[in-house]
Amino acid sequence: MTNLPPPSGQNGYQPQQPAPHLIDSPPPQVGDIAVLDAGVPEENTHFDPSDAIIQARGLTKQYGTLTALNQFTLDVPRGSIFGIIGPNGAGKSTAFAILATLLRPTSGTARVCGFDPIADPKSVRRRMGYMPDVMGVYDRLTVSEYLQFHAAAYKVPRSEWPELVDGLLQLVDLDVKATASVDRLSRGMKQRLSLARSMVHDPDLLILDEPASGLDPRARIEFRELLIALQDMGKTILISSHILAELQQMCTDIAVIEAGNLLASGSPQSILDQLGDGRRVRVTFADGSVEEFPVADTIEQAALLKRLVVDDQRDVVEFAEVSTDLEGLFLQITQGIVQ
Amino acid sequence: MSAVSALFQNMNPVLDRELRQRSRSAKSVMVLTLLLVSLTAVLYLVYLAWDQDNQFRDPLQNLSAGIGAIMFEVVLFAELGLLLLIIPGISASAISGERDRQTLIPLQITLMSRGSIFFGKVAASSAFVLLLLIASAPLLAIPYLQGGVSLFRISMGFLVTLVTGVLYATLGVACSAVFRRTQTATLVAYVLVVGATIGPLLAVVVIEIFQSLNGDFNETSTWPLYWNPFVGVADAAGELGRNFDSRGPFSSIKEELLRPDRNFDGFDDGFVNSSGFPRFLLSLAAQASFVGFWVFLALRKLRLPQGEID
Ligand SMILES: Nc1ncnc2c1ncn2[C@@H]1O[C@H](COP(=O)(O)OP(=O)(O)OP(=O)(O)O)[C@@H](O)[C@H]1O
Ligand SMILES: [Mg+2]
């Protein structure tokens, strides 16, 4: 037996994602969940960090006395959909702004698409598309003019515009709105247009800051499918959200951040697996009483059932694992720290 | 043909977009209409005043005085004044407006340099200034037909006014980059316009007082006036040696303040100062240095990555 189970690809995803590498820097103050002190050694059997499209090392951003981002270290594998989860004010936008060549960190280094976003922002911009958390629009400009403008700003040759704009509008399902005024679009449409805008120069990497906020459930599902389609096209996507369900379903990797500190990162499943001693079983008895028992794994779970039914002779009518999803995890490992 | 299409191909994206948007805006038409109506009114008032003044005059003197020259100067003077009022309003939201609309970051993240973003904004504002000037140019034809002013002088006045307008449009755009909020940027731009107009006059007065306190009764140096936006145009559009009652505002400024040797009572029709350099160029250069300082601040503010993003 190896000392650590490899990340299980339950959602059909098997590739070279980083196993849950745990962050040593912030002190493990995350309740009674041993996310941080699992003592995982460097195990890069599946993932070589030099293949990461984003490498952040100890990024720190201070605003006066407030530490918006603290020793943020992250590897985003090429081809992944990497989700960053955190409550309001956690530092997600701050981290994204640094990676997107907008913000100068107080300390730390980063490489994005192979270039330093601070020293060589142009090279990063050529290869990276960024969608800020707020979507601004111009007035008196049509949807296709809006995209043409950004294509021009990205120095895409004029001859390529018509095909590019048509393709992007089809991709984000806005082709019927090509001649509509940008400021008349609905919020969801603006967000899709903003995504299309971030792709006018065919970047390898998309950094999307809460792209799905304010979308209705159907639009959210469509957005998710769109991002998966983009991943299939070979793009890497870094996305932030506080809506966990959507990240859980599409992300190959997830990092949890709070108050500037990275609390955990890995595949969604591996993060759930790290919650071993958080797993519980709820048992309902014939007399209607309900009890919950902590279990470490399925072996312990089977032993518990045997003990209750065979040894203790109790009338068990229902025996079920309390489902732990990321939502629960999120609430457990974050503490609602507000800076 | 290919040169023109190449120019079109490589047109600054920001300029291209701004022109598109401006052409669809009712605001620009309103501003233009307002300017033309005001200038026409000024022209008419000058004519009326002149008529009143000269009812009882010797017709011979009337002939020599040249209503055309005064009309030209008054209209151009009014036009410059109105432009200085209009320009901060149209240029000081250029960049802060994008910031307000959250469109600045998506623009800055592209491959456009901050210099070309800034230039695109300045060019768009300047294009509007040019449009205003060209649209009102026919009003200057009336004084020309009245006689007393040469086409050369009209052209010079027009050109220097245009350059002055472009400088102040640049100043407005710079303010909108330096200050986060459009209101602040607009306010500062207006303060700077008023300051540039009044400040040099105050400076000269202060120098004069200082000199007389020191018992120095030489002619006061007027060099601070080169920073005044009206002075450059005055040098280009005004004429020395005019009869007192046929002097327009620019000729008066030129006569009182820009005479190469103010003790010399002769004629000087040139633009050249005592050291041989055209004074309107000196004035434009002085104003450009002032504007350049703000452009420097603006470009610094537009640099990314930045310690803090607006
Ligand atoms: N310009 C600034 N000056 C001072 N503090 C700032 C500045 N920008 C961000 N902060 C602070 O940095 C912290 C992190 O902010 P950030 O926007 O990165 O959070 P976030 O995770 O994106 O939150 P949200 O989910 O609400 O978007 C917050 O406490 C915020 O108040
Ligand atoms: Mg945010």
Could you read off the pLDDT of A201-254 as tens digits, one per residue? Answer: 999 999 999 998 878 888 888 888 999 999 999 999 999 988 776 787 889 999
Is the separation of the CB atoms in A261 and A338 below 8 Å?
Answer: no
Residue B86: what pLDDT?
96
pLDDT of res. A324? 61
Chain A residue with Cα closest to B26: A140
Specify whether the CB–CB gap between A239 and A84 falls below 8 A. Answer: yes
The amino acid at B58: D
What is the per-residue pLDDT for B75? 93
A224 with A198, same domain?
yes
Comparison of pLDDT for B3 and A319, the residue scoring more: A319
Does B2 reside within a domain?
no
Please state, in angstroms and rounded to a whole number, the distance separating the CA atoms of residues B214 and A258.
69
Mean residue pLDDT of chain A comes to 82
pLDDT at A28: 39
Place of tokens 């034809």: B141
Determine, yes or no, domain membership for A11.
Answer: no
Q: Structure pTM? A: 0.83
- For ligand 1, the distance from its centroid to the CA atom of residue A295, given in whole angstroms, is 38
* Residues above pLDDT 70, as percent of chain B: 84
- Please indicate, yes or no, whether residues A104 and A253 belong to a single structural domain of this protein: yes
- The answer as to whether A1 is a domain residue is no
**Could you tell me if residue B151 is inside a domain?**
yes
Q: Is A92 in the pocket of ligand 1 (CB under 6 A)?
A: yes
Tens of pLDDT along B17-26?
999 998 888 9
Co-location of A48 and A69 in the same domain: yes
What is the pLDDT at residue B264? 38
| Together in a domain, A244 and A283 | no
Looking at the structure of chain B, the number of domains it has is 1
Is B5 a domain residue? no
- The CA A328 to ligand 1 mean position distance, Å, reads 24
Could you tell me if A283 and A248 lie in one domain? no
Q: Are residues A223 and A318 in the same domain?
A: no
Handedness of CA A210, A272, A58, A126 (dihedral sign): negative
| Residue A339 Cβ < 6 Å to ligand 1 | yes
Which atom of ligand 1 is closest in space to residue A64's alpha carbon?
4
Q: Are A283 and A235 members of one domain?
A: no
Residue B169 placed within a domain? yes
Percent of chain A surpassing pLDDT 90: 50
Q: Which residues in chain A have Cβ-Cβ distances shorter than 8 Å to B110?
A: 125, 150, 153-154
The reply to whether A89 and A231 lie within a common domain is yes
**A313 & A289 share domain:** yes
Asked if B109 and A130 come within 8 Å (Cβ–Cβ), the reply is yes
**Domain range spanning residue B154?**
13-49+57-308
Which tens digits make up the pLDDT trace of B237-296? 988 777 777 788 998 888 777 665 554 333 344 455 555 568 899 899 999 999 999 999
Q: Does A104 touch chain B (CB under 8 A)?
A: yes
Residue-range definition of the domain harbouring residue A306: 279-323
What confidence tier does A185 reach under pLDDT thresholds 50, 70, 90? Answer: very high
Task: Please work out whether the CB of residue A94 comes within 6 Å of at least one atom of ligand 1.
Answer: yes
| Nearest CA-CA distance, residue B120 and chain A, Å | 11
Interface contact flag, B305 A117, Cβ < 8 Å: yes
Tell me the C-alpha distance between B101 and A32, whole Å.
45
3-state secondary structure of A280: strand
In a domain, A53, yes or no: yes
Omega before residue A6 within 30° of 0, cis: no
CA of A96 to the centre of ligand 2 (A): 9
Question: Within a domain: residue B74?
Answer: yes
Total structural domains in chain A? Answer: 2
Evaluate whether residue A208 is within a structural domain: yes
Task: Please report whether residue A48 resides in a domain.
Answer: yes
